[in-house]
Every structure is written in structure tokens, then in C-alpha cells.
Structure 1
Amino acid sequence: MGDITGRTTGGGSGSGTLHLPPVELPDPAGLSEEQVCGRTCVWCRGVLDNTTAFDLGARKVNAHGSGARWYPRCCRRPCGFQHIHQALLDHTQSCEQCADDLTRCTDGKALRTAMRTVR
């Protein structure tokens, strides 16, 4: 499977830190160039444009001994909804912080924000 994201520097005015949703992705070595570049969905290979795509954030991958970036995106429905919803369910069932206070867990917050976006 592909990597699970962590923190990354955010862009834009006053954004500080952007926390990407921790969603497992397919291994980029097994994906087409269009999937790696974000032109098609990483799961269903559906063609994407800026209105239909959900950006899963730039990811780092070890390519032939050096770091490289890839830019996965997915369709909002059904793929984004399905995979992000499953990641949210898996996370909240095993996260003590989410059980105690939903507002304190950065992974849970990122997943809930992503779910609202893909709906």
C-alpha cells in the first residue's frame, strides 16, 4: 500500500499547518502516470478535473533511492466518499483521543473535514 500522510506545510494566508487525511493509498509503483500525476482517480481511474477531483495532498515516496513526490487525487463520489469514510470509521474505533474529545485529534479532524468536502 502507499504511504499514510502526516503533516505538511500549508499554503495560503494564515493557513499554518495543513493536516492531510490519513487514507491508505495504492502503491504508486503500480499506478499509471495519469493516476500518479492526479489526472485520474487513484482508485477507479476516472478522468478528473478541478470540479470533480478531491486532492489527497502531495505524498513522498522513495523512488530508486531518492525522494520523489506524487500527487494523488480521487473522484469525490464514489471513491473519495467510500475510502475516506472507511478511514474515518477505522480511525475513530481505535483512537482514544477521538473517544474522549473529537476536537483534539488532528487525524480525526482531517478525516471529518475531508468527509464534509467529498459529500
Structure 2
Amino acid sequence: MACVWDGINLTPATAVDLGVHSASRAGEPVSWYPRSCRGCVALQAHRGLLTHATTCTVCAREETAASCGLGRGLYRLVREYRR
């Protein structure tokens, strides 16, 4: 098992389950179950938060930023996995 972003080897204790994903291979539907290391989850969530915050009208307004579910979720991922 390896991190989908940086390829480092993972153990069951260090892997973060990213959920089931659907794709197609040779025209046939397949499911795959990517894993990541904690550092990459934090980094990708941080990148996503920066991208999201620049285009989200809810996040752009200080008084309503806390009501954006996506922004809040990305922020929580950054905080949880940066350790």
C-alpha cells in the first residue's frame, strides 16, 4: 500500500483511507480504494482550501466564511492531519 500522492509505503496504522472511488478501465467500471499519508492529506487539503477560498463568495466575506461547509471541511482536514 502506497500514498497516492508521494508514493511512500504505508502501514495500516499510517494510512489515511480516502474512500472508494469509481473509474473505468478498458470501458469497464472499476472501484479502487486510494490511501494517503497524513502529510499529503494536510498538504492537498491546504492547497484545496487556498484555491476554494479565492473563488468562493461565501468564504470571501468574513462574516459568512464560517457558514461555508466546503471551506470548513478543508480547514478541519488541514488541522487534523498536519500533525
What is the percent sequence identity of the aligned residues?
36
- Map of 1:112 onto structure 2: 75
Instruction: Specify every segment of 5 or more residues in structure 1 that has no aligned partner in the other structure, as ranges.
Output: 1-38
Task: Provide the alpha-carbon RMSD of the alignment.
Answer: 1.8
In structure 2, the residue corresponding to 1:69 is in which secondary structure?
strand
- The match for 1:57 among 10, 13, 19 is 19
- Map of 1:81 onto structure 2: 42
- Map of 2:5 onto structure 1: 43
Q: From the two aligned structures, give the one with the greater helix fraction.
A: 2
Report which stretch shifted further, 82-91 or 94-103.
94-103
Contact 1:54–1:118 under 8 Å retained in 2: no
In structure 2, the residue corresponding to 1:81 is in which secondary structure?
helix
Query: Alignment length, in residue pairs?
Result: 80
- Map of 1:95 onto structure 2: 56
CA change 1:67–1:102 in 2 (3 A) is farther
Instruction: Specify every segment of 5 or more residues in structure 2 that has no aligned partner in the other structure, as ranges.
Output: none
- Answer with 1 or 2: which has the greater Rg: 2
TM-score by length of 1: 0.57
Q: Which amino acid aligns with 1:118?
A: Y
Report which stretch shifted further, 89-98 or 43-52.
43-52
CA change 1:66–1:48 in 2 (3 A) is same
In structure 1, the residue corresponding to 2:19 is in which secondary structure?
coil
